[in-house]
Amino acid sequence: MSQGFKLVQRSCKPGEKDAAKKYYAVAKSNGTSGLKHLCKLIAARSTVSSADVKAVLDNLNFVMDMELQEGRIVQLGEFGNFRLSVSSDGVDEEKDFNNSLLRRAKIVFTPGKELRETKMTTEFTRVIPEVVEKECDRPHTV
C-alpha cells in the first residue's frame, strides 16, 4: 500500500491577487486511526489489554505535558523526541524586548530512526478524485 497524494492549484506568491498559479502535490490521507483503534492494535501485539495500553498512553500524555512545561526535551527512545519551541518578533535593542513579543509556543516532534526511514521508503501514488454524478444530472427515465 502506498501513500496517496493529490494536486492542488495555488498561487506562487500568496497574497498577490494576480500572481501565477501552479500545481503542487499534497498528501491525501486515507482516514484516521483513533486512540481506541491504536490501543487495540498495540494490545494485539503484546500481552497487555487495550485498557492497559490506553492507561499508559493517558499517563504518558500527562507526564509529557509536565516535562515540556519544565523546559525538558522528552526522549521516547526509538520513537523520537518532543520539545517546545518559541519565537518572537524582533527588536533593534535588547532593552526593548518584552514578553508581549513572544509568539505562541509550538511542540516540535523529531522522529527516531525507524520513522525517519519511513519518509524515505514510502511510495506515493497520485489519487484522482472521482466525479460523483448528482441525482439531478442523470437523464430521467419513465
- Distance from the Cα of residue 7 to its chain's centroid: 19
Dihedral of the CA atoms 97, 100, 106, 107 (nearest 10)? 80
> Span 99-104, mean pLDDT?
93
Q: Which residues contact 49 (CB under 8 A, 6 or more apart)?
A: 43
> Span 72-97, mean pLDDT?
94
pTM (two decimals): 0.71
Beta bridge partners of 21: 11
Q: Which residues contact 110 (CB under 8 A, 6 or more apart)?
A: 80, 81, 82, 83
Could you tell me the sign of the dihedral formed by the alpha carbons of 77, 79, 80, 81, in that order? negative
Query: Binning pLDDT at 50, 70 and 90, where does residue 59 land?
Result: very high
The reported pLDDT for the residue numbered 131 is 61
Q: Is the pLDDT of residue 111 over 80?
A: yes
